[in-house]
Amino acid sequence: QAKSAGRNTVCFFDPEMQAVATANATLAADLRQAWRERQFQIDYQPQVGPDGRMTGVEALLRWQHLQRGVVPPEQFIPIAEETSLIIPIGRWVLDTACAQLKAWENQPGRDHLSIAVNVSVRQFRHPEFVDEVMSAIKESGIAPHKLKLELTESLLADGIEVTVAKMGNLKAMGVALSLDDFGMGYSSLSYLKRLPLDQLKIDREFVKDVLTDANDAAIARTIIGLAQSLHLEVIAEGVETEAQRDFLARQGCHAFQGYLFCRPLPLQRLEAFIDAQLSGQLEIQSGTI
């Protein structure tokens, strides 16, 4: 049967693989329905500066599945990519983030905040992506620099010229560009210096054991040094302890995101968090600067 199915057909001989494929097909059908019924929401996780004050948030997509509960993005984003549903869903995240920025623009204590939006490769590759970002900015009327797009090194698979050109178009609009999960990919340093970036984001994989694993510490230190010599901002994700934060700060990283400061929160709870921080009810995690 495998032979007659032809060369370009994927065949499953392994029952376990078959089970995964079936589960993914079910998830894909559910995802399509979820998009039609708008079962998505965005949580926001604070990003803080050296004094522990919020500078912005990262928008993190959540799928509230009717039976399964919350499905983690690591499970459904790959399926959204395969099915191209990431295109309309990603557009919705972008529009929602821009509308939120616009709302905060007129609210004291919130008007300085930026929003970082994750962009998957499939989205970035889409021929209309740059136009979509442009119209999201125009329609909302936000100051473009408050929107930060988080890209990943896997973009470079499309070739450096195409990637640099597209990123250049986005930069020209005034949006900020961050390289997410930095260190996990395989981009060469000569590529990195050509990318019109504003920020490198240290992946939480390296932050996790930064105090106990000499290799992770060396990687973190290298990324921070790299950012400094390329005049890029550097932010660490997944910071859970004061000791991690202090170590990174000593190496020269002064922007952080992680459970130490705040978990990703639904909008209302995030706004309560901002208000509490403003009125000084929250102890600010400042530490050694």
Binding site for ligand C2E (CB under 6 A): 45, 60-61, 72-74, 77, 90, 93, 118-120, 150, 180-181, 204, 237-240, 257-259, 264
**From the list ligand C2E, Mg ion, none, partner contacted by residue 186 (C-beta under 5 to 8 A by kind):** none
Shortest distance (Å) from residue 109 CB to Mg ion:
25
Choose between 126 and 204: whose C-beta lies nearer to ligand C2E: 204
Cα angle, residue 95 at apex, residues 137 and 200 outer, rounded to 5°: 75
CB-CB contact of 2 with 11 (8 Å): yes
CA–CA distance, 197 with 194 (Å, rounded to integer): 9
17, 66 contact by CB (below 8 A): no
- Nearer residue to ligand C2E within complex by CB, 71 or 142: 71
Both tokens assigned to 136: 């999201």
Q: How many CB atoms neighbour CB 128 within 10 A?
A: 12
Provide the minimum distance between the beta carbon of 234 and ligand C2E in the complex, in angstroms, as a whole number: 15
Is the Cα dihedral 135, 124, 47, 188 positive or negative?
negative
Q: Which helix (H) or strand (E) holds 65?
A: strand 54-65
Q: By CB under 5 A, is residue 118 in contact with Mg ion?
A: yes
Sole residue written with tokens 């178009």: 169
Pick between residue 56 and residue 90 the one whose CB is nearest to ligand C2E. 90
Nearer to ligand C2E, 113 or 236 (CB): 236
Within 10 Å of residue 10's Cβ, how many Cβ atoms?
7
Write each residue from 182 to 221 as x if it is in contact with Mg ion (CB under 5 A), else as -, in one continuous string: ---------------------x------------------
- Distance, in Å, from the CA atom of 119 to the CA atom of 234, rounded to the nearest integer, reads 18
Residue 3 beta carbon to ligand C2E: minimum distance, rounded to whole angstroms: 38
**Smallest distance, ligand C2E to C-beta of residue 274, A:** 17
In one letter, which amino acid is 126?
H
Instruction: Give residue 190's region: left, alpha or beta (phi > 0; psi -120 to 50).
Output: alpha
Cβ 122 to ligand C2E, closest distance in Å? Answer: 8
Residue 283 interacting entry, from Mg ion, ligand C2E, none, C-beta within 5 to 8 Å by type: none
Nearer Cβ to ligand C2E, position 52 or 258? Answer: 258
- In one letter, which amino acid is 82? E
Q: In this chain, which stretch among 73-81, 172-180, 251-259, 269-277 interacts with Mg ion, using CB under 5 A?
A: 172-180
Name the one range near Mg ion by CB under 5 A: 125-133, 145-153, 158-166, 259-267.
145-153
Count Cβ atoms within 10 A of the Cβ of residue 28 and give its class: 0-12 exposed, 13-18 middle, 19 or more buried: middle
Q: What's the distance, Cα to Cα, between the start and end of the chain in Å? A: 66
On whether the CB atoms of residues 173 and 145 are closer than 8 A, the answer is no
Structure tokens at 24: 């993914």
- CB nearer to ligand C2E: pick between 19 and 157: 157
Residue 93: name its binding partner from Mg ion, ligand C2E, none (Cβ under 5 to 8 Å by kind).
ligand C2E
Residue 150 touching Mg ion (CB under 5 A)? yes
Q: How far is the CB of 200 from Mg ion (least distance, A)?
A: 11
Q: Is 181 in the site for Mg ion (CB under 5 A)?
A: yes
Contact positions vs Mg ion (CB under 5 A): 118, 150, 180-181, 203, 237
